[in-house]
Amino acid sequence: MRHLLSTTDLTRDDAVDLLDVAEEMAQVSEREVKKLPVLRGRTVVNLFFEDSTRTRLSFEAAAKRLSADVINFSAKGSSVSKGESLQDTMQTLAAMGADAVVVRHAGSGTPHRLATSGWIDVPILNAGDGTHEHPTQALLDSFTLRRVRGGLPASGPAEGARGTDLAGSTVAIVGDILHSRVARSNVHLLNTLGAQVVLIGPPTLMPWGVEEWPAEVFYDYDDALAAHEFDAVMMLRVQLERMHQSFFPNPREYTRLWGLTPQRYRALPGHTAIMHPGPMNRGFEICAEAADSPRAVVLSQVANGVAVRMAALYRLLMGTESEGRS
C-alpha cells in the first residue's frame, strides 16, 4: 500500500489487515510506556488546511507513539495565507525531508492530486478532503463496530476480533449524507467488509446518484427502524457551514423527522451501538439520552482512532521501506 486516499482502494484483505494491525497498536496504548520504536528517525507532516481537533491530535499522537518526528502545519499563519501555492508548499516539505504527509483540505481530490503530482515522493494519507472521503474515520468506525459485534470492549485491550470482517451486520448512517465525507468512506468500507448499509435522511441531503451506491436508502427514519434491526446507528452532524441554501425547514423540524430522539433511541434493539464521528450537536441530531447511554461508543471511536492511525502510518511507511529493500 503506497497511499491511503480512499476506502474504495482497499480490498477486504487490506481492510482486515489494517484492523488487525490496529488491534496490536491498541495494546501499546495500554502500556506504561506508550511507544514503539518502529518509525524512529522518520518525519510525519500533518498538513491541515481545515480546522480540526480530533483528527489532527489523533494523527499527532499516533505518529509520536510510533516514535516518529512530527511537524504540524496549519494554513493559518503560514505562507499559504500570503499566496503560496500548494505545489510550493509540498516541494518545501520534500526539501525538509518529510517521509509521509497527512493532509486535510477543503478541496475534494486534493490528496489524490498530491499523490500523483510528482511534487513529493512520499506516502500521502487522506485526513479528509472536502465532501469526498475520510478513510481513517471509516476504519476506526469499523474497528469499533467489529469489537462491539464480537462482544468485546469497544476500546482498550481485547482478543478475538482479529481476522474477522463485518458480514451479517446492518448499519444505519443517518443525517446529512450529502456533505459527509465520513458517510462516503463508511459506505464503501462497510460494504467491502460485508455489512449491509442503510442511509437515512431528507431527500435534499442525499447526494445525486445515491441510488447507485451499495446501500439501501430511506427518507423516513421510522420506516427504516420498522424495516431493519440495526447493529449500529451512526448519526452525522448537520454541516451547516457547507450549506448556502435551506435544505430543511428549521432545526426543530429536522430533529422531529431525522434526529435520534428519546423515542427512537428507546425503539432500537438493546444491542444497537450508537455512533457519531463528532462533534455532536446534542438536542439537534442526537438526544442526550442516546449520547450518554452505555450503548454510545463515541469516546471509544476517538480512542480507537489513535490505534487505527498508528496502523495506517505503520503500513504506509514500513511497507515503503520493505519495497525499497527488495
Residues in binding site for L-aspartate: 82, 181, 237
Cβ contact 226:276 at 8 Å: no
The SS3 of residue 100 is strand
Q: What are the grid coordinates assigned to 165, written together?
A: 470482517
Residues in the annotated binding site: 54-55, 82, 104, 134, 137, 181, 237, 278-279
Cis peptide before 262 (omega within 30 of 0): no
Q: What are phi and psi of 141, to 5 degrees?
A: -65, -45
Q: Where is the binding site for carbamoyl phosphate, in residues? A: 54-55, 104, 134, 137, 278-279
Cβ atoms of 2 and 137 closer than 8 Å: no
Sheet containing strand 273-275, edge to edge, reads 216-218, 196-200, 170-174, 232-235, 273-275
Q: How far apart are CA 192 and CA 15, in angstroms?
A: 8
Cα dihedral value 301, 307, 308, 312, nearest 10? 160
Task: Please state, in angstroms and rounded to a whole number, the distance separating the CA atoms of residues 6 and 28.
Answer: 26
